[in-house]
């Protein structure tokens, strides 16, 4: 038996949640006031994921960097590995929203894509 | 070998340099900071005092009255914002009335002819927001307000126009007398000059002691200020002083020439000549005191607070002299130093010229035009500027409406702005209510382009005041 | 020149207003934007979390802005970039300037104020100490990092736990900086729970509630700050000082609607919001001048900005088309606030001119748990809704129906919170 304490992020109430796990399986969620809290707690203790947003170096752009994001969530544990890949990447301008910057970043199956457009420097 | 080396590029050093350029002979201004106007001259009350405050017979009294009279001409020659808005000294209790009368008499003895004592009601009729507790006030119509940055820059730029050189980041570490003059050891190398002027502000005693036996001590007297937004700049039209009482010297409430409202200063002596921090106690105390003068003090409209150091000496008067042959001093220039700067410059230049046997030049040009403040000009003039150069139509600082053209001009002048604060003092970009939140990245870009430096090479003011550390990627 | 609808500001509010005005049939719409591109502050908000209500997906700021920008560009609305509005008069004459066009005077049939807000600065807080480099508002730092690609500091302390401060804690961490602590003056955070968890907890950044910066050290560049605990009157408690060495202090201490142009035109402002007081059509006290977005009141979700701005766009189009009564004066029912409610937008309603359903947005001044939101028409309670929690950082809303008010002779509407 293992317990984990979380704060629910679904609304400003911020319920303190206590999750009980047995062999990696969630057996009990306590402290939540609604169903959304339970769903959040289960995901957060078994497979937490996040969207990573940052910038990459833009070659020949009117600004030196352009905004990027992971197209969907990636495992929380991979955030810094993803950041390393993003820091090493660069993209030719012009850039359009959705342009793929890194395919399948860190083996997550998720692409890093441009989240802003950027013109070439005049 | 220069004829004269002036140590210190504050308002006094720059005024002396400017007046020296009326004469034949070469002038260099040696400054430890990165720009003109980085010490006492940038953080003070910005008042052109009437001259009733200084003790009879002192240099302060004499210089104050003469400086006040000169300010109209100087502000026109040097394109410096200046307004004779008049000043009140408030008396809150009948028992203090004799002190008010003493002040009146002192002013008359100093040569003022425009002073009068008015009742509380009369004062409130002129300034409706004055406190109901005011029972009487001294009224001095010749008192004024000035932009201290522009006054210092005006002297400096006009001096440069007439041939004076400026050496920044050149703190003086040694002064030695040789056969034909002096050698200054500075942080940027040696400078030789036939005469030296010590106008080093709070450091004047240290400069003095590099050459001569210890004679006076300059104590940095710290004054804290709060500056309020222009939306409340009209709270009072005149400068409002308080009569010194047994509770303390009192603080002023005044509009600035640019339409803000200024409160301050406190007065606290410090051993540290660099201690320009504000304190929680000081700021609270000053707001409490300022609140006595007016019906409602707009403390929620404070946009910034700062503190400045006055150069107070144990002599308790201006030290204006030739301390040793060829070694001149303008030291202990605390209030009313800003007011006195024009006449101190004139008088010291005369002394130095006489000592060196310099004669007047025919080609001295007394006129300096400041960076145009396009958006305070009448519409037709503004339009003409923008038609001539579209960069005047590209607004960078939204709070003070400053264009890219003005910022570029400020950087390209001599001596020009090299830092964010240098741009701010010359153009007012970053001085408004958002306190540079929006415009500082843009101003940094313009500085970077004009100076050919990466953004990481741009500073707020001193070489150590790094703004950004380099690229993220 | 004469133009029908002029929108000041091309951020999310201005874009949504322009689009709605065009959709409502306005012929001539002009957006004046001071920056080099549309989108306003969204351009630098590269984190995700925008658009859940509007688009049912999690977009980043630039992505959200681009959706609106594309739609506006499909209309014939005109956009002037790099154009600064210098003044607005009460008869809707706008003076603007740009590098390309020089000084321009525009007589507008209707004006929509959409200038957004600015961040409170260090000066407004009166934090004592030196004034070194390295003190940035969170938004300025965000611009430097996300737009200019510049690193403003390596060791960071953040004052204020508003959402921008929290977002910047994560941004700076991901870019390699060490964020040492976030201090919050209030006993609660003004930011979203989600941001506290995902921007602070994920990275082990401590949040100190009821703490503030009481001294800034370093004469040239910040070398450290002193943080003190505050009492329930928000005053620092002597003896609780703690020193943090850092080279950067970021401030996320509140947003102020930018209404200098509005006041120049004689627009009346609300003391509670620092934005214009508006009626059911989001019209200010100056006829034909409308307001929406953060210049009207500070929002926490851009989706609501878009919604509100669209209403202002429709109202302006209608004003031009029908030449409506400018303000109804006596026919307007004032909306009063009670309980914990600080303000409502709008603050007056004329049933004759309101839409069928009118959203009234409001904020509370403290944290309230298990209280009711109630609406009264004079003495009669017409809405009574329980809420588990309400916080100052979360905008609330109630919807008024035109049918409930029309011809009912209601003298006053009250929006309030109640224990039961």
My answer on whether B158 and B43 are in the same domain is yes
User: Quick one: how far is CA C106 from the chain centroid?
Assistant: 27
How many structural domains comprise chain B? Answer: 3
Residue C325 has pLDDT above 80, yes or no: no
My answer on whether C43 and C82 are in the same domain is yes
Q: What is the pTM of this model?
A: 0.95
DSSP B391-444: GGGSEEETTTTEEHHHHHHHHHSTTPP-SHHHHHHHH-TT-STTTTTTTHHHHH
My answer on whether B128 and B161 are in the same domain is no
Four-residue CA torsion sign, C28, C33, C36, C42: negative
B472: left (phi over 0), alpha (psi -120 to 50) or beta: alpha
Chain A closest-CA separation from residue C358 CA (Å):
25
| Residue where one domain finishes, among candidates C221, C253, C285 | C253
Residue B12 domain-assigned?
yes
Model pLDDT, residue B366: 98
Q: Which residue has the tokens 């937490």?
A: A48
C175 chain-B contacts, CB cut-off 8 A: 472
Tell me if C151 sits within 8 A of C173, measured CB to CB: no
My answer on whether C249 and C260 are in the same domain is no
pLDDT tens digit string along A66-98? Answer: 999 999 999 999 999 999 999 999 999 999 999
My answer on whether B67 and B154 are in the same domain is yes
My answer on whether C285 and C199 are in the same domain is no
Residue B293 domain-assigned?
yes
Residue B468 domain-assigned?
no
Is C137 near chain B, with CB under 8 Å? yes
My answer on whether B119 and B58 are in the same domain is no
Q: What is the DSSP letter of B242?
A: E
My answer on whether C229 and C313 are in the same domain is no
Nearest CB to A76: which of C47, C202, C388? Answer: C202
My answer on whether C88 and C148 are in the same domain is no
CA atoms within 13 A on the CB side of C319: 30
Cα–Cα dist B20/C321, whole Å: 70
Is C241 near chain B, with CB under 8 Å? no
A57 chain-B contacts, CB cut-off 8 A: 473
Residue B466 domain-assigned?
no
Residue C329 has pLDDT above 60, yes or no: no
Domain of B355, CATH number, reads: 3.50.50.60
CATH of domain A2-47: 2.20.25
Residue C183 CB-density burial (10 A; 0-12 exposed, 13-18 middle, 19+ buried): buried
pLDDT band at residue C191 using 50, 70 and 90 as cut-offs: confident
My answer on whether C248 and C263 are in the same domain is no
My answer on whether B71 and B45 are in the same domain is yes
Cα–Cα dist B394/B383, whole Å: 13
Model pLDDT, residue C324: 64
Nearest CB to C128: which of B278, B302, B401? Answer: B278
Q: Which residues lie across from B253 on neighbouring strands?
A: B240, B263
Cα–Cα dist B423/B461, whole Å: 10
My answer on whether C73 and C178 are in the same domain is no
Secondary structure class of A41 (helix, strand, coil): helix
A and B: number of Cβ contacts within 8 A: 10
* Spatial CA neighbour of A24 closest among A54, A49, A4, A51: A4
Residue B349 domain-assigned?
yes
Cα–Cα dist B414/B371, whole Å: 11
Cα–Cα dist B334/B331, whole Å: 9
Model pLDDT, residue C181: 98
My answer on whether C287 and C336 are in the same domain is no
My answer on whether B428 and B378 are in the same domain is yes
Model pLDDT, residue C326: 55
Residue of C nearest to B276 (CA): C130
Residue of C nearest to A51 (CA): C48
Model pLDDT, residue A1: 82
My answer on whether B3 and B43 are in the same domain is yes
My answer on whether B249 and B114 are in the same domain is yes
Residue C396 has pLDDT above 60, yes or no: yes
Edge-to-edge, what's the strand order for the sheet holding A25-30? Answer: A2-7, A16-22, A25-30
Model pLDDT, residue B317: 96
Chain B closest-CA separation from residue C212 CA (Å):
13
* Spatial CA neighbour of B18 closest among B204, B199, B150, B156: B156
Token pair for A109: 């199956």
C251 chain-B contacts, CB cut-off 8 A: none
pLDDT band at residue C331 using 50, 70 and 90 as cut-offs: confident
Domain of C84, CATH number, reads: 3.50.50.60
Nearest CB to B469: which of C99, C118, C153? Answer: C153
Which chains are within 8 Å of C by 3+ CB pairs?
Answer: A, B
A63 chain-C contacts, CB cut-off 8 A: 147-149
Four-residue CA torsion sign, C18, C22, C26, C30: positive
Q: Determine the structural domain holding residue B273 and report its residue range.
A: 87-141+219-313
pLDDT band at residue C408 using 50, 70 and 90 as cut-offs: confident
Domain of B115, CATH number, reads: 3.30.9.10
- Does B473 contact C149 at a Cβ distance shorter than 8 Å? yes
Measure Cα distances from C221 to B219, B448, B454, C2, C57 in Å: 25, 19, 18, 50, 42
Q: Which residues of C56-73 are buried (b: 16+ CB within 10 A; e: fewer)?
A: eebbbbbbbbbbbbebbe
pLDDT tens digit string along C90-134? Answer: 999 999 999 999 999 999 999 999 999 999 988 888 899 999 999
Nearest CB to A53: which of C60, C148, C192? Answer: C60
C contact residues 310-369, partner B, Cβ 8 Å cutoff: none
My answer on whether B2 and B71 are in the same domain is yes
B379 chain-C contacts, CB cut-off 8 A: 103
Residue B192 domain-assigned?
yes
How many structural domains comprise chain C? Answer: 3
Q: Determine the structural domain holding residue C161 and report its residue range.
A: 121-253
User: Quick one: how far is CA A87 from the chain centroid?
Assistant: 16
pLDDT band at residue C330 using 50, 70 and 90 as cut-offs: low
Residue B462 domain-assigned?
no
Whole-number average pLDDT of chain C: 95
| Residue where one domain finishes, among candidates C308, C327, C346 | C327
Q: What's the helix, strand, coil split of chain A in %, to 5?
A: 25, 40, 35
A and C: number of Cβ contacts within 8 A: 84
B384 contact partners, CB below 8 Å, separation of at least 6: none
Q: What topology does CATH give the domain A53-114?
A: CPE0013-like fold (3.10.530)
- Does A53 contact C149 at a Cβ distance shorter than 8 Å? no
My answer on whether C133 and C202 are in the same domain is yes
A contact residues 76-115, partner C, Cβ 8 Å cutoff: 76, 79, 83, 97, 115
Pairing relation of β-strands B402-403 and B395-397?
antiparallel
My answer on whether B190 and B248 are in the same domain is no
Cα–Cα dist C230/C159, whole Å: 13
DSSP C161-224: -SHHHHHHHHHHHHTT-EEEEEEESSSS-SS-HHHIIIIIGGGT--EEETEEEEEEE-SSB--E
My answer on whether C177 and C269 are in the same domain is no
Least confident residue range of A5-9, C21-25, C83-87, C203-207: A5-9
My answer on whether C151 and C246 are in the same domain is yes
CA dihedral C246, C251, C253, C259 (to 10 degrees): 160
Domain ranges of chain A: 2-47, 53-114
My answer on whether B402 and B362 are in the same domain is no
C66 chain-A contacts, CB cut-off 8 A: 97, 116-117
Tell me the average pLDDT across C212-234: 97
The one-digit pLDDT tens for each residue of chain B (473 residues) are 999 999 999 999 999 999 999 999 999 999 999 999 999 999 999 999 999 999 999 999 999 999 999 999 999 999 999 999 999 999 999 999 999 999 999 999 999 999 999 999 999 999 999 999 999 999 999 999 999 999 999 999 999 999 999 999 999 999 999 999 999 999 999 999 999 999 999 999 999 999 999 999 999 999 999 999 999 999 999 999 999 876 667 899 999 999 999 999 999 999 999 999 999 999 999 999 999 999 999 998 999 999 999 999 999 899 999 999 999 999 999 999 999 999 999 999 999 999 999 999 999 999 999 999 999 999 999 999 999 999 999 999 999 999 999 999 999 999 999 999 999 999 999 999 889 989 999 999 999 999 999 999 999 999 999 999 999 99
My answer on whether C5 and C114 are in the same domain is yes
* Spatial CA neighbour of C45 closest among C298, C258, C301, C251: C301
**First-residue to last-residue Cα distance in chain A:** 63
Q: What angle do CA B189, B192, B195 make, to 5 degrees?
A: 135
Q: Is residue B312 among the annotated active site residues?
A: no
Count the helices and strands in chain B (H runs, E runs): 12, 22
My answer on whether B342 and B399 are in the same domain is no
pLDDT band at residue C327 using 50, 70 and 90 as cut-offs: low
């Amino acid at each position: 038996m293992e317990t984990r304490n979380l704060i629910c992020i679904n609304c400003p109430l911020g319920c303190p949640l206590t999750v009980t796990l047995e062999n990696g399986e969630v057996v009990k969620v306590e402290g939540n006031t609604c169903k959304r809290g339970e769903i959040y707690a289960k995901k957060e203790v078994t497979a937490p994921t996040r969207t990573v947003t940052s910038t990459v170096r833009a070659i020949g752009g009117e600004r030196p960097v352009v905004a990027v994001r992971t197209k969907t969530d990636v495992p929380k544990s991979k955030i810094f590995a993803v950041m390393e890949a993003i820091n090493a990447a660069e993209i030719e301008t012009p850039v359009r929203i959705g342009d793929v910057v890194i395919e399948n970043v860190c083996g997550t199956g998720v692409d890093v894509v441009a989240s802003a457009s950027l013109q070439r420097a005049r | 070998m220069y004829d004269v080396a002036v140590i210190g590029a504050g308002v006094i050093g720059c005024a002396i340099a400017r007046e020296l350029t009326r004469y034949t002979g070469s002038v260099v201004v040696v400054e430890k900071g990165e720009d003109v106007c980085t010490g006492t001259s940038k953080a003070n009350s910005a008042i052109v005092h009437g001259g009733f405050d200084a003790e009879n017979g002192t240099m302060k009294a004499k210089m104050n009255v003469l400086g006040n009279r000169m300010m109209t001409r100087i502000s026109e020659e040097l394109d410096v914002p200046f307004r004779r808005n008049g000043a009140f000294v408030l008396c809150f209790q009948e028992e203090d009335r004799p002190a008010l009368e003493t002040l009146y008499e002192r002013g008359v003895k100093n040569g003022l002819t425009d002073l009068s004592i008015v009742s509380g009601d009369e004062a409130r009729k002129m300034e409706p927001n004055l406190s109901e507790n005011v029972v009487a006030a001294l009224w001095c119509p010749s008192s004024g307000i000035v932009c201290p940055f522009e006054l210092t820059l005006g002297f400096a730029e006009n001096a440069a126009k007439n041939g004076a050189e400026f050496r920044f980041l050149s703190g003086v570490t040694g002064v030695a007398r040789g056969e034909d003059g002096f050698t200054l050891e500075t942080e940027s190398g040696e400078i030789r000059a036939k005469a030296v002027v010590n106008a080093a502000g709070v450091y004047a005693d240290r400069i003095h002691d590099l050459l001569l036996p210890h004679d006076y001590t300059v104590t940095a007297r710290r004054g804290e200020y709060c500056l309020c937004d222009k939306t409340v700049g009209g709270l009072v039209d005149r400068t409002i002083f308080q009569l010194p009482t047994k509770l303390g010297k009192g603080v002023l409430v005044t509009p600035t020439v640019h339409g803000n409202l200024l409160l301050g200063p406190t007065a606290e002596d410090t051993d540290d000549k660099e201690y320009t921090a504000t304190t929680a106690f000081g700021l609270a105390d000053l707001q409490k005191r300022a609140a006595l003068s007016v019906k409602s003090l707009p403390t929620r409209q404070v946009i910034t607070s700062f503190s400045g150091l006055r150069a107070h000496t144990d002599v308790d008067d201006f030290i204006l002299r030739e301390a040793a042959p060829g070694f001149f001093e303008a030291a202990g220039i605390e209030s009313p130093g800003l007011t006195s700067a024009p006449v101190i410059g004139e008088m010291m230049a005369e002394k130095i010229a006489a000592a060196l046997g310099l004669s007047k030049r025919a080609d001295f040009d007394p006129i300096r035009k400041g960076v145009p403040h396009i958006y305070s000009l009448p519409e037709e003039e503004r339009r003409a500027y923008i038609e001539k150069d579209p960069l005047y139509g590209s607004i960078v600082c939204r709070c003070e409406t400053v264009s890219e053209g003005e910022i570029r001009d400020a950087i390209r002048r001599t001596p020009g702005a090299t830092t964010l604060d240098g741009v701010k003092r010359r153009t007012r970009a970053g001085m408004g209510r958002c306190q540079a939140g929006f415009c500082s990245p843009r101003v940094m870009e313009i500085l970077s382009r004009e100076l050919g430096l990466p953004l990481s090479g741009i500073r707020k003011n001193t070489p150590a005041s790094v703004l950004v550390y380099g690229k993220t990627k | 020149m004469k133009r029908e609808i002029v929108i000041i500001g091309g951020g999310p509010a201005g874009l949504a207003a322009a689009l709605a005005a065009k959709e409502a049939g306005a012929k001539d719409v002009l957006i004046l934007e001071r920056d080099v591109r549309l989108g306003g502050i969204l351009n630098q908000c590269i984190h995700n979390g925008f658009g859940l209500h509007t688009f049912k997906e999690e977009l980043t700021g630039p992505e959200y802005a681009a959706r609106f920008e594309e739609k506006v560009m499909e209309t014939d609305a005109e956009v002037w970039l790099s154009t600064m509005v210098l003044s607005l008069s009460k008869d809707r004459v706008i003076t603007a300037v740009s590098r390309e066009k020089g000084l321009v005077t525009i007589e507008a049939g209707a004006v929509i104020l959409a200038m957004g807000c600015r961040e409170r600065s260090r000066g407004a807080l009166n934090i004592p100490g030196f004034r070194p480099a390295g003190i940035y508002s969170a938004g300025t730092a965000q611009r430097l990092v996300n737009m200019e690609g510049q690193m403003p500091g390596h060791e960071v302390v953040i004052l204020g736990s508003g959402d921008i401060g929290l977002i910047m804690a994560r941004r700076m961490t991901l870019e390699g900086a060490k964020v040492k602590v976030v201090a919050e003056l209030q006993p609660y955070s003004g930011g979203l729970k989600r941001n506290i968890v995902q921007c602070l907890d994920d990275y082990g950044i401590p949040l100190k509630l009821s703490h503030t910066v009481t001294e800034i050290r370093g004469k040239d560049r910040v070398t450290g700050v002193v943080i003190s605990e505050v009492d329930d009157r928000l005053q620092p408690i002597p003896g609780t000082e703690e020193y943090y060495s850092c080279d950067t202090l970021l401030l996320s201490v509140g947003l102020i609607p930018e209404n200098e142009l509005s006041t120049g035109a004689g627009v009346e402002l609300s003391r509670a919001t620092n934005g214009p007081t508006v009626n059911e059509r989001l019209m200010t006290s100056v006829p034909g001048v409308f307001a929406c977005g953060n210049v009207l009141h500070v929002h926490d979700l851009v989706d609501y900005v878009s919604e509100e701005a669209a209403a202002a766009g429709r109202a302006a189009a209608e004003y031009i088309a029908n030449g409506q009564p400018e303000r109804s004066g006596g026919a307007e029912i004032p909306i009063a606030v009670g309980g914990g409610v600080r303000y409502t937008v709008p603050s007056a309603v004329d049933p004759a001119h309101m839409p069928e359903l009118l959203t009234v947005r409001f904020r509370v001044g403290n944290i309230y748990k298990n209280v009711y939101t109630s609406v009264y028409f004079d003495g009669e309670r017409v809405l009574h809704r329980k809420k588990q929690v309400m916080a100052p950082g979360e905008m609330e809303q109630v919807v008024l129906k035109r049918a409930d008010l029309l011809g009912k002779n209601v003298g006053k509407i009250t929006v309030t919170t109640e224990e039961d």
